[in-house]
Structure 1
Amino acid sequence: MQIEYRVNTPVTPQEFTRLLNDSFLGERRPVDDPECMAGMIENANLVVSAWDKDRLVGISRCVTDFHYACYLSDLAVHREYQKAGIGRQLQALTQQQLGPRCKLILIAAPAAQHYYEPLGYEHNDRCWVLDRDKPIR
């Protein structure tokens, strides 16, 4: 298996949606909302992708200022390609695109809670989430 990694190569909303469905992340993303999925991939400003020939098999989708904070919004690897180091390489290549003081920040899916600590991430319990249907009081 020869995996090619690409930085900011366009990924179609259909490819992105298919990958999320073929990973475990599709259960936690709005894959049934094509407009939202298109906006998610088209408005990310750092995308590192993994390809097996012309098949998207992994993605690191981020929103970042490149200097202080990089929110790794989606890290997904196709189920058939997991445990081959693709996720680790996607994160390493993502980090290489960032300035020396820039932090990678993410919210782990419950099933991936223990994946990140061995990679060097520190757990932070100060994350807060406000759903769009709940107005600021």
Structure 2
Amino acid sequence: MTSGDQGLPEESAADLASWKWLHRLIKMFGKHGMSSEESSVENGVENVLRVKQMNWQRNIDRKLDIIDRECILDCDIFVPQGSKPLSRKRAHDNPATSRKQVTGLPVALYNSPWFLQLTERQAEALQPSEEVFVWKKIAVAA
């Protein structure tokens, strides 16, 4: 079965739409909206990256996990540049980042409880975009 005039199977069209949405999400945050990481050794064997907490950012951990997993599983699609990919550990007890919040994002990309506790002046200083960003749930096969 195909979807629309693109001639793609429905599953492929949905996958493509999901990847486009993920790409847009990452692009909106930009390089300053992505957390830095600290490397550590887990279980005395495995090198991992501990992702620093960004309290202002909406939780996108599952979305980033999807991207990380696909980069490892589909190594024939992704260019293997740089060092070998390491596991990223996202946990609430990871240290906080020293990076400032990104301004000009749609309100949907900020952590709601964090945003709501801001004073009016602080919220205005963020210069949130009036662009509507519709949040999606993305499911992947295990």
TM-score by length of 1: 0.28
- With a CA cutoff of 8 Å and minimum separation of 6, indicate the structure with the bigger relative contact order: 2
Highest Rg: 1 or 2? 2
Q: Which of the two has greater strand per residue?
A: 1
TM-score by length of 2: 0.27
